[in-house]
Amino acid sequence: MNFRDFSIESGSNADYGFSISNATAMEQVWDVTDITNANRRVNKGGAGSFNFAYTASDPNFNNEFVAFRADAAYSPQFVGRIGNQNLSALQNVDYLILTVPELMGQAQRLANYHQTANNYKVEIVDVNKVYEEFGSGSKDLTAVRDFVTRLNAGGRLKYVFILGDTSFDYKNRISNNNNIVSSYQSEQSSDVVSSFVTDDYIVMTQPQNNLLIENNLPDIPVGRIPATNASEAGDMINKTLAYYNSLPGQSSPFGEWRMR
């Protein structure tokens, strides 16, 4: 149970008292006013009335508390083993490819082209590893943006390419969803007219000067091939290489792509 008192004036240094009745089964209350410095109050002996004090010392936070019982807490469940990784050590990357393991083979074909033709240092990264290292395992687009921002710390990163389909439903609540590499859902997600999905968010690596994403500009070019599986990715990479006149066995210097 979360609760707060909106009448408390933050930063006033005044002392306040809270009292919770019928609290026999309530073991503790956590003060999460400052989530970086949470602390708990224990209901010693399971008293029926749980009383505790609070000092409104910080002007930056409104009071916020969470009361709960240990038997109502979630139990951790084993999801999987995470191998050692260190994406933070990557440096001097020109071309970043974000994808998933199933599409790595096709991503490598494009990486080979740019390494040979443009002398780019290309890095193919499993987006799930980005979530693990920069988002504590949560599929959070801000984790991807933080990774791209770190990679571009020296300003060398030239392009970000995403291989994999996306969906407005990043929580995978609809059937037959193709949310392979997630995109950013606009703030007006419930508005069928003005809502939109974009990849620009992950390449906004500089401090933004406007609250709404549509009024900010990306700092690095970003593109995506919305492939659902390896077969689709292969077809799309074939067309891309044909455009560059670099498809093995290509007969025309212009590529068959111009005929389609």
pLDDT tens, residue by residue, 227-243: 999 999 999 999 999 88
**Tell me, what's the pLDDT at 256?**
56
- pLDDT score at 101: 97
| Mean per-residue pLDDT of the chain | 88
For the ranges 21-30, 113-122, 191-200, 226-235, the lowest mean pLDDT is seen at 21-30
Query: Does residue 247 register a pLDDT over 90?
Result: no
Ramachandran assignment for 154, one of left (phi > 0), alpha (psi -120 to 50 degrees), beta (any other): alpha
Cα–Cα distance measured from residue 46 to residue 167, given in angstroms and rounded to the nearest whole number:
49
The span from the CA of 119 to the CA of 123, in Å, is 13
Range with lowest mean pLDDT among 63-77, 132-146, 149-163, 175-189:
63-77
Q: What is the DSSP letter of 211?
A: S
What torsion, rounded to 10 degrees, do the Cα atoms 102, 105, 109, 115 define? Answer: 100
pLDDT category at 260 given cuts 50, 70, 90 is low
- Could you give the percent of the chain with pLDDT greater than 70? 95
Q: How confident is the model at residue 255 (pLDDT cuts 50, 70, 90)?
A: low
> pLDDT at residue 216 above 60?
yes
CB of 66 within 8 A of CB of 18?
Answer: no
pLDDT above 60 for 259: no
